[in-house]
């Protein structure tokens, strides 16, 4: 039994619609985004004007195209659906997107200067290679988002691992993309994405617990950037540990400027000027702790004889400085492995829910802290 086809548009328009979408994804149209006229499309695909019009009208309704009276029909570039059709290609690549909210016009820092993420990237690369994929690293200034740059990233990726995301706008763009996504150490909240984070609260709590057990009760705190969730939760851990030990919180001993070495130097200088100066300083990153040690040395005091200093992260430099830095070790390589495993779970459709995984920390005792 044969089915009668009464109107060719009922049969052909979906095929034409998909062909136009494929050309949008492959950037086959004019650089200004204009697609051929209805008459030209009829000639290209050898179908009726009714079929072309129906395909175009649906693409306009779905936000792939926009009609400009007197000018023609154009690709609507800034829309969710364009990202989705681009993202469906199989590239064999996983992209690590290192986000920065520092203006590159002001700061020269790049991924090459990053002291925290290289071991995370090593963990990503190991796992990606085992799966016979490739790892591509991109550095993105998230406060100046360019849709074209994001589209270029999407075209090259089957999955995206995003490090240090702060921008809610960028997160929303990434969530709209039909592509596996994992955030490492983000400073935004979402229940619709997989997250791998450091157990910052417990790590900081354990730092203070360790110092108190060594006899320290006057403990200064050097924080990081106010927008950082890591800095925020390390501060919460510090405060909670002091409360548990019955130590009165002294706001003059809590100082935050930023993440740079010079911020640690400046904050330590302020702490040293206090009449009741601390016997120990907890800095929420090793770089801040190293800055603090430099400030203490420059003041003529000794670490740890006069003031103990403890950091967080366990960067390579922590074991190389004098005195070597006692710090809370972050298992960065494992963070990279776990993030990549979550990407491949999504690629293989192994589950339909999202996970937040907190990676535990380990105290590395070295020479910068002494018992009172």
What's the pLDDT at 32? Answer: 67
3 assigned to some structural domain: no
For residues 284 and 352, state if they share a domain. no
* Residue among 328, 313, 339, 362 at smallest CA distance from 123: 339
- Report angle CA 127, 132, 137 to the nearest 5 degrees: 60
Domain for residue 372, yes or no? no
- Global pTM? 0.75
Are both 317 and 211 inside the same structural domain?
Answer: yes
Decide which of 10 and 36 is more confident: 36
List the CATH number of the domain containing 217: 3.40.50.2300
Same domain, 284 and 312: yes
Query: Using an 8 Å Cβ cutoff, are 156 and 93 in contact?
Result: yes
Is residue 311 predicted with pLDDT exceeding 50? yes
Query: 95 and 121: one domain?
Result: yes
Contact present, 253 and 274 (Cβ < 8 Å): yes
Element (H, E) at 203: helix 200-213
pLDDT in tens, 128-154: 999 999 999 988 887 766 767 777 777
CATH number for the domain that contains residue 24: 1.10.10.10
Say if residue 162's pLDDT is above 90: yes
pLDDT in tens, 206-244: 999 999 999 999 999 999 998 899 999 999 999 999 999
Q: Specify whether 183 is located in the same domain as 140.
A: yes
Q: Is the model's pLDDT at 95 over the cut of 90?
A: yes
Q: At residue 107, does pLDDT exceed 60? A: no
Token pair 């490739």: residue: 134
Rounded Cα distance between 268 and 338, Å, is: 36
Which residue did the predictor score with more confidence, 162 or 106? 162
* Number of domains present in the structure of the chain: 3
**308 membership: H or E segment, kind and range:** strand 308-313
Q: What are phi and psi of 217, to 5 degrees?
A: -130, -15
Mean pLDDT, rounded, for 80-90: 55
d(CA 316, CA 115): 8
Same-domain status, 24 and 124: no
* Same domain flag for 292 and 206: yes
Q: What is the DSSP letter of 34?
A: B
Same structural domain, 120 and 141: yes
- Domain residue limits at 157: 89-198+335-358
Q: Higher confidence at residue 351 or residue 341?
A: 341
């Amino acid at each position: 039994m044969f089915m009668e086809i009464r109107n060719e548009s009922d049969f052909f328009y979906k095929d034409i619609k998909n062909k136009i979408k494929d050309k949008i994804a492959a950037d086959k149209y004019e650089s200004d985004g204009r697609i051929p006229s209805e008459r030209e499309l009829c000639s290209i695909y050898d179908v009726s004007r009714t079929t072309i019009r129906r395909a175009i009208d649906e693409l306009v309704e779905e936000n792939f195209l926009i009609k400009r009276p007197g000018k023609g029909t154009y690709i609507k570039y800034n829309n969710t659906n364009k990202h989705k059709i681009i993202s469906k290609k199989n590239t064999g690549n996983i992209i690590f997107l290192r986000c920065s909210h520092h203006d590159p016009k002001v700061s020269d820092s790049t991924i090459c200067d990053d002291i925290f993420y290289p071991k995370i990237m090593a963990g990503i690369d190991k796992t990606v290679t085992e799966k016979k994929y490739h790892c591509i690293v991109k550095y993105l200034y998230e406060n100046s988002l360019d849709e074209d740059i994001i589209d270029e990233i999407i075209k090259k990726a089957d999955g995206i691992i995003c490090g240090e995301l702060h921008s809610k706008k960028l997160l929303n763009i990434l969530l709209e993309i039909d592509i596996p996504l994992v955030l490492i150490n983000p400073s935004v909240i979402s229940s619709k994405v997989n997250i791998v984070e450091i157990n910052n609260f417990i790590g900081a709590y354990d730092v203070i617990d360790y110092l108190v057990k060594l006899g320290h009760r006057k403990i200064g705190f050097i924080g990081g950037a106010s927008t950082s969730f890591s800095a925020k939760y390390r501060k919460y851990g510090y405060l909670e540990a002091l409360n548990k030990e019955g130590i009165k919180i002294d706001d003059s001993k809590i100082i935050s400027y930023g993440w740079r070495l010079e911020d640690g130097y400046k904050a330590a200088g302020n702490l040293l000027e206090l009449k009741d100066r601390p016997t120990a300083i907890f800095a929420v990153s090793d770089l801040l702790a190293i800055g603090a040690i430099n400030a203490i040395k420059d003041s003529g005091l000794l670490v740890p004889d006069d003031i103990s200093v403890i950091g967080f992260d366990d960067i390579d430099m922590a074991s190389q400085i004098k005195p070597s830095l006692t710090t809370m070790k972050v298992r960065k390589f494992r963070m990279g492995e776990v993030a990549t495993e979550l990407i491949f779970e999504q690629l293989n459709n192994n589950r339909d829910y999202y996970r937040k995984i907190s990676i535990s920390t380990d105290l590395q005792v070295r020479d910068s802290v002494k018992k009172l």
